Every structure is written in structure tokens, then in C-alpha cells.
Structure 1
């Protein structure tokens, strides 16, 4: 499974720029997801870098994202977006799709509380469990 870089949509309106902190948390969530899925033995994962996507799919069209995952020999691709609507409320939209057809194999909308390293980590661990339960 190819894991695309997670995205953040921050509509919280907080006055402090948390860009670097959120970038670190997004990357850590993607790495943690890959490690958790690999450790279970049912998945082999590959992290696709932001640089690769910017070079190959600057407009991030779905057909281009699927092609990048297929070229990496992945049969599935993970796409995730975290929406921060307030200091305490975040939502993780996750999708695993078949790279040939683009059809969703799994979709999850998860809520988590707190914009902290621990909250993000727990959300990622829970998501990995959801993906494992759904099967490869």
C-alpha cells in the first residue's frame, strides 16, 4: 500500500501559526501508520514523499495520484486529510483505494480530541487497527 502524505485543513482560526508543528505531526502519523501496518504482516507499505507528488502531480488529480501509486507497485493507496475545526476538535478523513480502479476499499471519518502529539498518535494507531480489521 502506498501512503500519500497526509494533508491538513485548519479552519480553527487560531492566531498562532502552528504550521511546522502540524507538518511534523502529519509526517509522524504517516510514518506511524506505515510502521503499524507493516508490523502486522498483512501489508507492505511505501511512503510517497511530498516532493514526489509535487513533481509528478502538481494539481493532485486523483488519476495522477493513482498512477504514482501504481508505478510504485502498490495495489492500494492511502489518502488522508485531518480537519482541525477548533483547538480541541479534529477529524481524520481516511480512504484506502484500489490503484487500478480508484474504487474505495475502505473509508473512515474519525474524530479525535486535542491538538497534541499524543492525540494524533492515538488517532493514527486507531486508524491502523481499522485498516488491519478491514483486511488487505
Structure 2
């Protein structure tokens, strides 16, 4: 009887453990700036905004309770020195080193101060498969437009109940 209770409690504990949210790594967003102002004056305001929206995404996903956020500090330097969108899967390797189940990379493409696109890529670290992609265009290069665009994508794409799932 005691052995049966032990097995039942182990099964219960393993089912509770498997009910934990997936471990997620959100890498810092990258910038592709092909704008004329970026060419002449640099992309300093955009680099500050990249940090801000990366942190915004981490905080809102953590607050949702749907993910267990992992700190990227141990691999941040390596990630910043790689082009995560074109490194042949180094993002998956870095996320795997942290023990993540899922990972997010993102890129902001700035064509001009009026044409900017924000893209979020969510991938399964174990399979390498893309889980979902979220993208939105924004008009205007301001702190508010970047923050509002990120909020929209989080609310209506990443955390939307049926987004990215087949009908």
C-alpha cells in the first residue's frame, strides 16, 4: 500500500511538473537600418528603442504567466556579436545552452522615419521549427510608435489564444 501511495505521489508530482509553462528566452532585437538618416547620422535613437522593446516583450510575456522567462545574461554578448537572423541556427544553440524550450528573436527594419517594420520570430529550441511569426508596420519613428506596435503584437499575436495554430 505504501509503495502504491509513493508511485501515485510521484505521478502526481511529475504531472504537476509537466504543467509548468515552457522556458522562454527572448533575445535582444536587432536593427536593419537602410534609411538615409541612418546612413548619415547613425541609428542611436533606434538602438535605445531596441533595448526598450526587448525588455517590454520580456516583461509582458513574464507577466502573462504563459512562459517561464530565462535570463539571457550568460549568452548576451555572444548573441550581440552574431546576426541571429542569419547565423545558421546559433540562436537555437545559445537558447539551448540556457535550457530554453522556446526562443524569440526579433528584428526591426527601418526603411525611413515613416516606414518601419517590427518582426518577432518564436521557435521551438528542441526541433528548430518556427512556432509563429508576428509582424507589424509602424508609421513614425517615435518611442510611442515602437512601444504601441510591440504591445499590439504581444496582445494580438504572441498571446492571442489561436494565433499561429491551424484552423
TM-score (normalizing by structure 2): 0.72
2:89 counterpart residue number: 63
Moved over 4 A (4+): none
The 2-side partners of 1:22 and 1:64 are apart by 24
Matching of residues 1-136 of structure 1 within 5 Å: 1-14=24-37, 16-48=40-72, 50-54=76-80, 58=82, 60=84, 61-129=87-155, 130-133=157-160, 134=163
* Structure 1 unaligned regions, length at least 5: none
- Cα deviation 1:66-125 (Å, max 9, x = unaligned): 011012121111011101111111111221000011111001221111110000000111
The 2-side partners of 1:36 and 1:18 are apart by 29
The 2-side partners of 1:103 and 1:76 are apart by 10
> Whose relative contact order is higher, 1 or 2, with alpha carbons under 8 Å and at least 6 apart?
1
Aligned length: 133
The 1-side partners of 2:49 and 2:42 are apart by 11
RMSD: 2.0
